[in-house]
Amino acid sequence: MKGLKGSYTVEAALIMWVLIFSVWSVVMLAVCQYDKIVLESIAAKKSWELAWREEEELRREIWKTSEEKMFGARVLEIEISKGLLTTEVNCSAEFEMPIPGIWKLVSGKKQILFYAETCCGHPQAAEAVRILYAWKGRGEGQDDGPLQK
């Protein structure tokens, strides 16, 4: 009976490390997912603003806002493109674990990379379509519709 008391202590000490590591990993993955959602929302909001603002100004705002709102990730690259009918904002970021080496043991990688891609139409899309029809030779006085030849 004396040997049973010590065996519970040793088993509990071994199991606690596994339990603590499991809980910590779930919390870190939740923080990483939070950072990804924040980056996607920033990219979506700024893609709407791109219709009437300069690209470099928005790029600086995305960097600043992401540094303020994200916990563990940092933005690596921001690509902004502005077309006639749509605007696109693509961001890539990396999330590094706070304890170096632990994530590398689990996944073989040092960090988690994630991307936020968003595309939206311009608020002035109707004006752009009118310009396209006029450019195709349909002029403003004709009413033949886009589907008729």
Q: pLDDT per residue over 36-53, tens digit each?
A: 999 999 988 888 777 677
Task: Tell me, yes or no, whether 85 lies in a domain.
Answer: yes
Distance CA 58, CA 56 (A): 5
Number of domains in the chain: 1
Task: Tell me, yes or no, whether 11 lies in a domain.
Answer: no
Residues of the chain above pLDDT 70, percent: 70
Read off the pLDDT of residues 5-44 as tens digits, 9 standing for 90 and up: 667 777 888 899 889 888 888 888 899 899 999 999 998 8
Task: Tell me, yes or no, whether 9 lies in a domain.
Answer: no
CB 128 within 8 A of CB 109: no
- For tokens 């010590």, the residue is 6
The CA–CA distances, whole Å, from 66 to 32, 62, 72, 92 equal 13, 6, 10, 11
Task: Tell me, yes or no, whether 146 lies in a domain.
Answer: no
Task: Tell me, yes or no, whether 141 lies in a domain.
Answer: no
pTM for the whole thing? 0.68
Length of the chain equals 149
- Which residues touch 70 (CB under 8 Å, ≥6 apart)? 35, 38, 39, 93
Domain that holds residue 47: 28-135
